[in-house]
Copies of this chain bind each other. A is one copy, B any other.
Amino acid sequence: MKSVVCSLVVLLCVFRVGASEVVSIGTSTSLTSELLQEDRALMVYLPPSYSGTDKAFPVIYLLDGDVHRFTGFVGVLESLSTDTLGNQVQQAIVVAIPNTHRSRDLTPSTVPEWTFKDRVLDTFAQSGQASRFLTFLQQELFPFIEANYRASNRRLLVGESFGGLFAADVVLQAPTTFDDYLIIDPTALWDNNYLNRTLAGAGERPALDANVFFAFANNAHLGEIGLTNYQWGTTFATAIIRQATGTAEQHYFEHETHGTVAFLAWYNGLRALLSAQN
């Protein structure tokens, strides 16, 4: 009841002519996960044509979804899916998932000490719980979103760095979970070439009934680490693209680094995967 009163008062404030009104790009909410035994914050963006129609929309799940990334990604999507940039892309719902324990949820194997050629890159108190996080998505988050919003049956996953590693691992372990994968500069260096090792160990795989877009940055300034991450990443992408039956592309952004590539990846990836023509 308190929440209903609050909502009414908020509406009254928002629609008072001449007053200051909030420009909203969505709502933040939270979901208590039985599986993860924790509350998970979420931010949900609804597209401009959501209200006033009864249409259902594709849902884009955005990993590492803090408020700045959510704002940036929504900005790209809203520009591309309105007159601003010529309605090139379909309107869609965005569900941003902020991290609680990033290395725990997004990495697919347990690696307390992450090394490359005897050099320690990082150490992690928690890692290797990607499959549990995927189960959370499948069994708790999707039902919550699909019960509360007009979601179509098309799901997209957007992940970068460890998030890209997670998305690539979903392609390996449970490819039909999503219809589209936007995989941005994934951490192919993880666990001594985990992605290609796992792919090689899987034997003959069925055709991949999903669309994939890989974006790679120029990390040559990092030396052998950067070059190897790209080499292993593009080897993996090439193999996956060969298995895909739909849109399947990889792009190398020569003028962007690991820390800057997300933007052009979103821009080009959304145009490729969610084109208004498809």
A-side interface residues toward B, CB under 8 Å? 3, 6-7, 9-10, 12-13, 16, 18-30, 39, 43, 45, 48, 66-76, 78-80, 82-86, 88, 257, 259-260, 262-264, 267
**Contact A75 B79, CB 8 Å, known A9-B10, A43-B23:** yes
Nearest CB in chain B: distance from A151 CB, A: 17
Besides the contacts A21-B28, A23-B45, what 9 more A-B pairs have beta carbons closer than 8 Å? A20-B29, A21-B27, A22-B28, A23-B24, A69-B79, A71-B78, A72-B84, A75-B79, A85-B262
Bound-state Cα–Cα, A247 to B20, Å: 36
Q: Could you write out 28 A-B pairs with CB less than 8 Å apart?
A: A3-B19, A6-B16, A9-B10, A9-B13, A10-B22, A18-B30, A20-B29, A23-B28, A23-B43, A23-B45, A24-B24, A24-B25, A68-B78, A68-B82, A68-B84, A71-B75, A73-B75, A74-B75, A75-B75, A75-B76, A75-B78, A76-B76, A79-B262, A84-B262, A85-B262, A85-B263, A86-B259, A263-B267
